[in-house]
Amino acid sequence: MSQIQQLSYLVIESNKADEWTSYAADFLGMQVAKDADGSLRVRMDSRPFRFLIKKAAGREASEDLSAIGLEVASAEALASLRSQVAAAGVAVHDGTPQELADRKVQAMFWLSDPHGLRIEITYNPLECSNDVNLPSIPGGFLTGELGFGHIAIGAPDLPKCEAFYKDVLGFKLSDYIVQEIQGFPINFTFFHVNPRHHTLALAGLPTPYRLNHFMVEVQSIDVVGEAMERAKRAGISFYMNLGRHPNDRMLSFYAFSPSNFAVEFGTGGLQIQDDETWPIKTYDAISVWGHKD
């Protein structure tokens, strides 16, 4: 059983601070603050950030995901998971005081997944006393115990990645999608750590960038529609148009970010309340309808 409770934040390496400021504030409807070093903290709820946009000083940025933050409930859970990861033969590293201050957490260790993605396991994140201002998002984003949303990443060695997230970190299997694309079957595997249908999607194919997309969820289709209109007015390109997925039943669209990945903006995602009775299925398409150009 996983001791991880949620996907709490992403760290993205980008030298496009101005573009990300406009994208996050004007399109996504979030709050953006800039650190003294030029990093951006993008806020969507009571946390001081859910997305940390870090500059690549003196070099070209990857414009990609550089780390994910996963959260546990207690210091005891942190120590237990650290021992579990080390026992599996995975190298673990304690967070430095500077890293703890930067991530605004009390404690942290980190490790790398089979394809080199930095995974930060954290405990006791800072909570903001002032309310977040989200005038474009009536009802706010669906976060709390569900985390900020989900991510989809490329996994060229899919079996190795599946085993790592399931057996080492304790993620729970949600379901599969196998879709034929240009005559070849592409495998997708979905995992969860809380009631949100999936926290992590693995795409079993080589990708030029680590992150395919991250997802944020709102309270109604009207908020989704208004976001689509904002994207159109801003000239933001769509990766996928409005549609519904068969497994999590999310009604969503995807818009390209200033970096090399998309953001899924959706509503109505399915939640898994009982793992014992949850039927694991394999679907033959990523969309019931829509999402195509």
Query: Looking at the predicted structure, is the pLDDT value of residue 1 above 60?
Result: no
| pLDDT-above-90 percentage for the chain | 93
Question: In which element (H, E) is residue 196 found?
Answer: none
Q: What is the C-alpha radius of gyration for the chain, rounded to an integer number of angstroms?
A: 18
Is the distance from CB of 45 to CB of 78 less than 8 angstroms? no
pLDDT digits (tens, 9 = 90+) for 67-104: 999 999 999 999 999 999 999 999 999 999 999 999 99
4-125: which CATH topology? 2,3-Dihydroxybiphenyl 1,2-Dioxygenase; domain 1 (3.10.180)
C-alpha 194/C-alpha 71 separation (Å) is: 11
Q: Please determine whether the domains at 4-125 and 144-290 fall in the same fold group of CATH.
A: yes
According to DSSP, the β-strands at 238-244 and 251-256 are antiparallel
- Residue 291 banded pLDDT, cuts 50, 70, 90: very high
Q: Which two tokens stand for residue 4?
A: 């991880």
Three-state DSSP string of 120-165: EEEEEECCCCCCCCCCCCCCCECCHHHCCCEEEEECCCHHHHHHHH
Average pLDDT of the residues in 220-226: 98
> What's the pLDDT score for residue 2?
75
224's CB contacts (< 8 A; 6+ apart) are 218, 242, 251, 252, 253, 265, 266, 267
Is the distance from CB of 261 to CB of 62 less than 8 angstroms? no
- Residue 182 banded pLDDT, cuts 50, 70, 90: low
Kindly list the domain boundaries of the chain, sorted by start residue: 4-125, 144-290
> What's the pLDDT score for residue 57?
81
According to DSSP, the β-strands at 150-154 and 211-218 are antiparallel
> What's the pLDDT score for residue 226?
98
Helices (H), the chain: 17-22, 75-87, 97-103, 158-163, 221-234
Q: Count CB-CB contacts under 10 A for residue 123.
A: 19
Which one is the CATH code of 144-290: 3.10.180.10, 3.40.50.2000, 3.40.640.10, 3.40.50.970? 3.10.180.10
Measuring CA to CA, how many Å separate 199 from each of 27, 138, 150, 162, 181? 23, 24, 4, 13, 24
Average pLDDT of the residues in 33-57: 96
> What's the pLDDT score for residue 122?
98
DSSP 180-194: EETTEEEEEEEEESS
pTM score over 0.95: yes
What residue type is 283 in one-letter code? Y
pLDDT digits (tens, 9 = 90+) for 102-129: 999 999 999 999 999 999 999 999 999 9
- Residue 55 banded pLDDT, cuts 50, 70, 90: very high
